[in-house]
A and B are shown apart, each in its own frame.
Chain A
Amino acid sequence: MSETGHKPEPDNATGGRKSAGSQPAFSMRGSLLRKNLMTALLLAPATLWLVVFLVLPFIAIAIFSVGERAPEGGYQAALTFAQYANLPARATAFWNTMVLAPVGALACLLVAYPVAYYLALRAPQRWRLILLAMIVIPFWTSLLMRTYAWMYILGGRGIPALLAYVGIEDLRLINTPGAVLLGIVYGYLPLMILPIYVSLERLDRRLLEASADLGATPLSTFLGVTLRLSLPGVMTGFSLVMILLLGEYLIPTLLGGGKVFFIGNALVDLFLQSRNWPFGSAIAITLVLVSVVVLIVANRVSTRLSGARRVDLI
């Protein structure tokens, strides 16, 4: 009411402007402070959580890794790189992991991409949510349980028994590399499908039409446009799965018969059985460094190839 009443009078207008010059500056500074405080308060729980459960343990592990094993097991203060020098002792575990992680992630990718493609570009709109839910829902059950289920399915009384009915005898599925790969693909598939789905879903369909209009066959449109523009999703999924696989030991143990050792097995062994914390810590630190390198490389590659504005994953 007062606003409309004041408008025509020049005196009041200047008065209004004067107060507009000083007051808002005041309240702006105030609101800025309030805003900062609000931001700090909102960030506090997450920051606290990260500091207590990620940063501090990481520092502890870093300190352990340059220490020595106490005679009775555990950690004893020291400053030595002997643990790192000793890493080659677990070279086989490292090597196996370095093979398992990318191969597993690749297998996941090969299965996940067509699924994500179908979901994002081909599936009828009203089915999409249902199909996505069907992919995510199994995640509500523990991976351990689901992997046990696979032990039964692949084991002697599972598929091989069924196949025996039709005359295919003595087929060994459990405790083979194939079983491990199958378990990995099964367990990590949603983590690969979702980021690829998101990047394909965001893809501007007119780009596909433009490509066809310019004479590109469906295959070259797929390679030149669809695949290229979904690479950020592919890289996100790939690095996510690969990093998780670097620490994976459950699936190889259950479905691979535990004959092949991975870094995950080594860590469990060193921390829980032989209680050589410093050596375990050195391995853990190395693993983290490898993960970081994987992330950086994946980020660079996807940024370069998709030509998108830089998106930082870390």
Chain B
Amino acid sequence: MTAVPDIEFRAVTKRYGAVTAVSGIDLAIPPSAFVALLGPSGCGKTTCLRMIGGFEQPSEGQVLIRGRDMAGTPPYRRPVNMVFQQYALFPHLDVEDNISYGLRQARPRLSSREISQRAGEALSMVQLGGYGRRKIHELSGGQQQRVALARALVNKPAVLLLDEPLAALDKKLRTDMQIELQNLQREIGITFVLVTHDQEEALSMSDFVCVMNGGRVVQLGQPSEIYDEPADLFVADFVGKTNLVSGKVAGLSGDLVDVALADGTMISARKRVPLSRGEAVSVSLRPESLSLSAPGSGSLKGIVRNRIFLGSTAEYAIEVQGIGSLLAKADHVIGQGNLFKPGEPVAIGFAAGAPLAFPHANNNGTNQREDQNAEILS
């Protein structure tokens, strides 16, 4: 018996006039999972969420919730609830009335006793017991966030939709809420669909990450899969930090390719898609897969330009002749004071199997990464 997916997209396309926001998405979101829709702004992730919520209708294709086609079903008849960006709490109602708003809409009507009991439970679930009679504008951002969560969850939806729910919170609160959201999802056991442009948030919170770009799903997988085995250059570049180095395919052997870098260095990389000899490729090198050592060993030589010491790790921006700037990340072990200093020459080695080669496309992620490296260097 296969489980019916909580959410299913079948060849869904959404156009706004001449602009195609979402093009031909097929997607099945498994039940009881925490799923993140991740992508840069304008990739169609919010449009997807709004089509699940019923605020947008697909131009083509079907959106199914628990196997039922939702075409023509208005938002108020869908078994999903949304936590809106900026929360969209009702300013004219107090905390408890905000939370019980959905319960009051239920037909047949619920008894007022049940309503207040469930609202009370929802309040204590988000640790706001005793805040029921507060006005919305008297609450902090974090508290408003909790009210928005309680207001959605109190209706026992089949799926909870979260539209960039943590974007308005400061960093400390955001980390707390990430953990709290994860715990809540496990406790309640319903599917959470989170929209975010923050790849760290997506990786840390969700069971599955759905990476989107240009209105398409680029990759769906577990966070570690997405990070370790990116489907293409865009994913490699967008998720996590990486160095992209251009080169040419010099040799092929099974899953591996030998790539000649611009400075003539040969490195062995894995390929995810078929490549041919002589093809221009970009090799993705995760900063933590680069190992630094004293000059003499290693495959590449460079000079440390900048060091950011982060306690448990240190990040280095290393200038390599003919290749450019590489970002390396090294663990720092207490007592082993082997930190390289700016200006020091170093040798760079690659962990076996870590470099990934992709066809060199005019992908839009690359510039962004270069900017970030430039930022570190400056």
Residues of A within 8 A of B (CB): 204, 206-207, 209-217, 220, 224-225, 228-229, 305-309
Contacts and interface: CB of A to CB of B under 8 A. Distances in A.
B137 interface: yes
17 contacts: A206-B84, A206-B88, A209-B75, A209-B84, A210-B82, A211-B90, A211-B101, A213-B75, A214-B81, A214-B152, A215-B76, A215-B102, A216-B76, A220-B105, A224-B101, A229-B91, A307-B93
Given A220-B105, A307-B135, A309-B137, A213 B92 contact: no
B92 A214 contact: no
Query: Which of under 10, 10 to 19, 20 to 34, or 35 or more describes the interface residues of B?
Result: 20 to 34
B155 interface: yes
B342 interface: no
Given A213-B55, A217-B76, 20 more contacts: A206-B85, A207-B88, A209-B55, A209-B84, A209-B88, A211-B101, A212-B55, A213-B54, A213-B76, A213-B84, A213-B152, A214-B76, A214-B81, A214-B101, A215-B76, A215-B77, A216-B101, A307-B92, A307-B135, A309-B137
Contacts of A308: 91-92
A225 B98 CA distance: 11
B53 interface: yes
Secondary structure at the A interface, as helix, strand, loop or mixed, is helix
B293 interface: no
B86 A213 contact: no
Secondary structure at the B interface, as helix, strand, loop or mixed, is mixed
Contacts of B152: 213-214
B295 interface: no
A311 to B, nearest CB: 13
Contact of B74 (A210, A212, A305, A306): A212
Interface string B80-119: 1110111011111110000001100110000000000000
A214 B105 contact: yes
B14 interface: no
Given A206-B84, A206-B86, A209-B55, A214 B91 contact: no
B286 interface: no
B305 interface: no
Contacts of B77: 215
A69 B101 CA distance: 62
A304 to B, nearest CB: 10
B88 A204 contact: yes
Contacts of B307: none
A209 to B, nearest CB: 6
B151 interface: yes
A225 B88 contact: no
A213 B91 contact: no
Nearest to B157: A213
Contacts of B54: 212-213
Given A209-B84, A214-B155, A305 B92 contact: yes
B53, B85, B92, B137: which has the most chain A beta carbons within 10 Å?
Answer: B92
A215 B105 contact: yes
Contacts of B93: 307
B292 to A, nearest CB: 36
Contacts of A228: 92
Contacts of A214: 76, 81, 101-102, 105, 151-152, 155
Nearest to A217: B76
Contacts of B84: 206, 209-210, 213
Interface in B159-181: none
B88 A215 contact: no
Contacts of A215: 76-77, 102, 105-106, 155
Contacts of B137: 309
A307 B81 contact: no
Contact of B82 (A213, A224, A225): A213
A218 to B, nearest CB: 8
A228 B101 CA distance: 14
A228 B91 CA distance: 10
A108 to B, nearest CB: 24
Contacts of A225: 90
